[in-house]
Structure 1
Amino acid sequence: MGRWALVAVPALALLSGCMVGPDFTRPAALASQHYDIGAERRLSRDADANGVPHIDFDRKVDGDWWQVLGSAKLDEVMRQAIAGNLDLAAADATIRQADEAVAATRGGLAPQVDVGARGGRQRAGGAGALATSNVYAVGLQVSFDFDLFGGTRRKVEEQAALAELQRHRFDAAYLTVTGNVAEQALRLASAGAQIQAVQTLLTDDRKNLELVQTAHRYGSATQVDVALATSQLAQDETLLPPLAQQRDIARHALSVLAGRGPADWVPPDFALDDFSLPADLPLSLPSELARERPDILEAEAQLHAASAAIGVATADMYPHLQLSASASQIGPGGGMLWGLLGGLTAPVFHGGTLQANRRASIDGYDVSMANYRQTVIVSLGQVADVLQAIGHDGEEYAAQQHALDAASTSLRLNRQGYRAGETSVLQVLDAERTYQRALIDHIRATTARYLDTVELSMALGGNSSGAFARSATGRHERDGSEQPPVRSP
């Protein structure tokens, strides 16, 4: 018996180290070296890109991505949103839930110990006499699954991959929240600037209408001139309500992003002057993008979980070895009762269920692989779109700047001519209207350039990979502890 034990124990230890199913390997780096060669060439350091920011493959985002916009006011609102956003709070709780699922699954690798107790009364007879007595039994029950082929360990691996997925999902939510805050702050600033320009435009329209009406009373203008001036004022008045709505929507969105009701917290008013456009924009290589964007890393974690699921389904097709033991104190006066039992179960016939489960898990892995590749390809397309937008919006901005300069020159010359008696006041007012119209279009073109910067940062991942780990570290430092608080069971 001793010799068999010396052989069996090492054999069981060896078997318990076996894990069936594939070992996960990360997908290979992307073969693509470019997003859009034409756009990259136009935005390179050696190209004339009409003053638009240049892309820099040699730089990486360092710190918070929105700091490239140079707004201390935006940074403050970002901090409030990150601390108060309820989507991030939910994602944080989901991570804790996923971690507990890993711990619960890992518990299956350890011996399972339970205590049991039972009691009652019994009647026993002997030698013509009956006796009634109280009886009880108290003892321990221990069971252990040797996990010979790694099914439980693959389940732990699967749950750990799903927990990692939730961390990347938090990072993706973090990127979305910060991107939305920046976009809404820019839209709020843009709406405010356009509202101011429209109000000036309406002032000019009213002056123009008054002058035309006065001229009509003295016979130097026709009713048609009055109708045209009235129509122009009415048409320009339609510009104001949509801009006010855009301002209010942006303001409310910032409150919601900060986890507050619009009536409970009002964000500061932003102006376009609060922001600055960077001269250089960092651009990750496509091979680096797959290691930096949280949605790609999330898809990779899902692929890892699908790989582990194949191992779980494969292990179910192999034998299971379990050992159980019990020890009970029988009383009164019954002494100790113990037992030791080993059991081996091996599947023989399950109607094809086990084979079908394994094939289904392989199919699930194929689904996850296709989703991963699609996520990568979509990310390349998004970066390419933004690079093109930076170029096109730069051309649009240059054209609007030229139009604004021309309108400004025309207004200056008309004012000089009016002072010299060479032009009428109506011509001056018309030049002012043209300038204000050009200013509104210039504001929109400027906003588009800022939004392109935000969208490029988001498309590249915004240095958000690991945001959960950084936020957790910050919470622990604020709490004055190095470990998260222990929750009572």
Structure 2
Amino acid sequence: MRPNIPLLALMLATTFLSACAATPAFKRPDVAAPAAFTGTQGQTPTAINAAWWQNFGSDELDQLMTEALAQNTDIRAGVHRVEQARADLKIAGANLLPSIGASAGAGRNFQNNPSAQSTNLSLGANISYELDLFGGNKAGVSAARANLAQTQYGEDALKLVVMGDVAKGYFTFVNLRERLAIADDNLKNAREVMRIVQARYDAGAVSALDVAEQKTVVSSREASRAALQSQLTQAGDALAVLLGRA
């Protein structure tokens, strides 16, 4: 007996339609979308005071800034001074100090087109400068204008980096100088106590252990002072490099 083909096909179609009916229809959720996004769009950027360091009210810092900016007009020499000064500051322990809210960086981009190589100088607060040192971005302007613009941008970027590093170096130096003054007072007090303990020991009022303990205190204070003096010297060397004195 041959199977009933039409009846079998009807049964399969009914089963398929039943399975489709068991799946609920997708309903798009009602989400109220804002008419416009209210972020930072349309906000006018705040201008940065070119002489922002004057807000600290330090005549010493003002003098250092003036001297450093006058000495760092050549881009290549200025970058070299910045790198050397940062190495000295690292030895001086500047990384232990809190950041003053500024950062800077430099890098070189290499693209497929050799003439489009560029150097980037960047600072914190989303400020960046692209220097077309190899003339790859001169479309639409003359070569003379492009060279002049890149030189001006490079000098401006270098000034921003130098100002940030001078401020950091100055505050590192001031911090170490104050800590050294405190260390001098602590050492002076420890030596005075040592003199008193020694006198009492000679009089038989204290033991040799008391004398040994105070000698340890004096030695510790001397070592701390020597370390601070070394760090202060390194911080001074870093500032001297930025100022073109070294």
**TM-score, scaled relative to structure 1:** 0.28
Aligned letter for 2:59?
A
SS at match of 1:208: helix
Q: 1:58 to 1:171 in 2, by over 3 A?
A: closer
Tell me what 1:225 maps to: 210
Change (3 A) 1:206 1:153: closer
Which of 210, 215, 223 is 1:238 aligned to?
223
Matches within 5 A, 1:103-118: none
| 1:101–1:239 Cα change, 3 Å | closer
Q: Once the 2 structures are TM-superposed, how far is the Cα of residue 91 of structure 1 from its aligned partner? A: 7.1
**Aligned partners of 1:71, 1:209: CA distance in 2, in Å?**
39
2:190 maps to what in 1? 205
Q: Post-superposition shift, 1:85? A: 2.0
After superposition, the Cα gap between the structure-2 partners of 1:153 and 1:226, relative to the gap in structure 1 and judged at 3 Å, is closer
2:171 equivalent to 1:181: no
Q: CA deviation at 1:228?
A: 0.7
**Are the equivalent residues in 1 in contact too, given 2:166–2:242 (CA < 8 A)?**
yes
The 1:232/1:82 distance shift into structure 2, 3 A limit, reads same
Deviation at 1:196, TM superposition (A): 1.5
1:206 Cα deviation from its structure 2 partner = 0.8
Q: 1:230 to 1:90 in 2, by over 3 A?
A: closer
Q: Deviations over 1:91-140 (max 9, x none)?
A: 79xxxxx99986xx9xxxxxxxxxxxxxxxxxxxxxxxxxxxxxxxxxxx
Q: Is the 8 A contact 1:215 1:221 kept in 2?
A: yes
CA deviations over 1:69-95 (Å, ceiling 9, x no partner): 111221122111111126547579xxx
SS in 2 for 1:238: helix
Displacement of 1:252: 1.8
Partner residue, 1:62? 49
Between Structure 1 and Structure 2, how many residues are aligned? 156
Could you give the per-residue CA deviations for residues 273-319 of structure 1, whole angstroms, max 9, x where no partner exists?
xxxxxxxxxxxxxxxxxxxxxxxxxxxxxxxxxxxxxxxxxxxxxxx
* Alignment partner of 2:61 out of 63, 67, 74: 74
Q: Which blocks of at least 5 consecutive residues in structure 1 are unaligned?
A: 1-30, 34-56, 93-97, 106-151, 262-489
Q: Which residue of 2 aligns with 1:193?
A: 178
Q: Is the 8 A contact 1:198 1:240 kept in 2?
A: yes
The CA deviation string for residues 376-428 of structure 1, in whole angstroms up to 9 with x for no partner, is xxxxxxxxxxxxxxxxxxxxxxxxxxxxxxxxxxxxxxxxxxxxxxxxxxxxx
TM-score (norm. length: structure 2)? 0.51
SS of equivalent residue, structure 1 residue 62: coil
Structure 1 residues 220 and 244, CA gap change in structure 2 (3 angstroms): same
- Tell me, yes or no, if structure 1 residue 256 matches structure 2 residue 241: yes
Instruction: Assess, with a 3 A threshold, how the Cα gap between structure 1 residues 258 and 168 changes in structure 2: closer, same or farther.
Output: same
**Residue aligned with 1:192, SS:** helix
**Contact map agreement 2:53 2:167 (CA 8 A) in 1:** yes
Contact 1:101 1:159 in 2 (8 A): no
Match of 2:70 in 1: 83
Partner secondary structure for residue 239 of structure 1: helix
Distance 2:133 2:140 in 1: 14
Determine the C-alpha separation between the residues in 1 that align with 2:167 and 2:183: 24
Q: For residue 253 of structure 1, report the CA deviation from its aligned partner.
A: 1.7
Q: CA deviation at 1:62?
A: 2.6
Q: 1:222 to 1:101 in 2, by over 3 A?
A: closer
1:216 touches 1:226 (CA, 8 Å); kept in 2? yes
Distance 1:197 1:156, change over 3 A: same
For 1:153 and 1:179, the matched residues in 2 are separated by 30
Cα separation, 1, equivalents of 2:133 and 2:61: 36
Report if the CA contact (8 A) 1:212-1:226 is conserved.
yes
Q: What is the CA–CA distance in structure 2 between the aligned matches of 1:215 and 1:158, rounded to whole Å? A: 84
Q: 1:156 to 1:58 in 2, by over 3 A?
A: closer
Q: Contact conserved, 2:138 with 2:146, CA < 8 A, in 1?
A: no
The 5 A counterparts of 1:435-450 are none
Q: Distance in 1 between matches of 2:78 and 2:219?
A: 49
| Equivalent residue letter for 2:51 | D
Matches within 5 A, 1:52-451: 60-85=47-72, 87-88=74-75, 154=139, 167-261=152-246
Query: Aligned to 1:260, what secondary structure does the other structure show?
Result: coil
Distance 2:140 2:47 in 1: 37
Contact preservation (8 Å) 1:86, 1:259:
no
Percent identity over the alignment is 26
Task: Specify whether residues 208 and 87 from structure 1 end up closer, same or farther in structure 2 by C-alpha distance, changes over 3 A only.
Answer: farther
How far has the Cα of 1:193 moved from its partner? 1.5
